[in-house]
Amino acid sequence: AQSVSQHNHHVILSEAASLELGCNYSYGGTVNLFWYVQYPGQHLQLLLKYFSGDPLVKGIKGFEAEFIKSKFSFNLRKPSVQWSDTAEYFCAVNTGFQKLVFGTGTRLLVSP
Amino acid sequence: DAGITQSPRHKVTETGTPVTLRCHQTENHRYMYWYRQDPGHGLRLIHYSYGVKDTDKGEVSDGYSVSRSKTEDFLLTLESATSSQTSVYFCAISDLGPTMNTEAFFGQGTRLTVV
């Protein structure tokens, strides 16, 4: 069965710092990869997605992620975070059977 | 936002009682999911549906059952609620687009407390 690992459970950054959140998945076949964000008290919203093609994917709000197939990774990056990026971030994998599996999430706190 | 409505939004129930949560969609999407969200565990898939009357178990299905008699409705039932089922429950929907790839859209969540 596929699984998703997010190794950073809590991250604290100052505004303007760079962000990288790790995501690794275990599945040997073709995957669709996602990053979702959950702002306090809200539901999950899609940040970006990878289906095929260019492994560097750009999403909303200046976020990007790179799919590295050899490392089974899909790390999320942002060059300069803002206070409004404080949220919980979830990596997710869909192996094509439409069974979407999530990681445990990373809580990001950006201090002004 | 996608047309997904979860009801109720909040519920407090007693241990041992049955509870049903409803997810209603207006998008005519084929796939529907129920997740629970707990601190330190992220979102864990309980059950999902790939069509009317077609459902499958997720990773934490024990103590839960589901039904989908219409495309638009996906019901989650806790047969006999326990305190360990206190959680926030999210419904999600997805469908296959022209490229056969899709993303999931989430409802607002239901906060369930079992006392």
pLDDT in tens, A74-84: 999 999 999 99
CB contact under 8 A, B109 and A43: yes
Nearest CB partner across the interface for A101, out of B31, B45, B101: B45
CA distance B15 to chain A (A): 26
Residue among B9, B101, B105, B110 with most chain A CBs within 10 A, to mutate: B101
**According to the model, what pLDDT value does residue B23 have?**
98
B10 has a pLDDT exceeding 70: yes
Nearest C-alpha in B relative to A42: B108
Give residue A5's identity as a one-letter amino acid code: S
CB contact under 8 A, B31 and A98: yes
Split at pLDDT 50, 70, 90, the class of B101 is low
**Gyration radius (Cα) of chain B, Å:** 14
Contacts of B61 in chain A (CB under 8 A): none
CA distance B97 to chain A (A): 12
**According to the model, what pLDDT value does residue A86 have?**
97
**According to the model, what pLDDT value does residue B97 have?**
56
Nearest CB partner across the interface for B103, out of A49, A101, A102: A49
Tokens of B42: 């992220």
Residues forming beta bridges with residue A75, ordered by sequence position:
A66
DSSP string, B22-86: EEEESS--SEEEEEEEETTTEEEEEEEEEETTEEEE-TT-TTEEEEEEETTEEEEEESS--GGG-
- How wide is the angle at C-alpha A79 spanned by C-alphas A7 and A67, nearest 5°? 50
Question: What is the rounded CA–CA span in Å between residue B72 and residue B64?
Answer: 20
What percentage of chain B reaches a pLDDT higher than 70? 93
pLDDT tens, position by position, A16-73: 999 999 999 998 778 889 999 999 888 899 999 998 899 999 999 999 999 999 999 9
CA distance B11 to chain A (A): 16
Question: What is the rounded CA–CA span in Å between residue B40 and residue A24?
Answer: 17
**According to the model, what pLDDT value does residue A97 have?**
64
Dihedral sign of CA atoms B51, B56, B61, B63 in order: positive
pLDDT tens, position by position, B52-94: 999 999 989 999 999 999 999 999 999 999 999 999 999 999 8
Question: What is the rounded CA–CA span in Å between residue B99 and residue B112?
Answer: 37
Contacts of B42 in chain A (CB under 8 A): 6, 90, 102-105
**Structural contact between residues B102 and B95, judged by C-beta atoms closer than 8 angstroms:** yes
CB contact under 8 A, B58 and A98: no
Tokens of B77: 């039932």
Residue among B89, B103, B111 with most chain A CBs within 10 A, to mutate: B103
B100 has a pLDDT exceeding 60: no
CB contact under 8 A, B107 and A43: yes
| Dihedral, A51, A52, A56, A58 alpha carbons, nearest 10 | -40
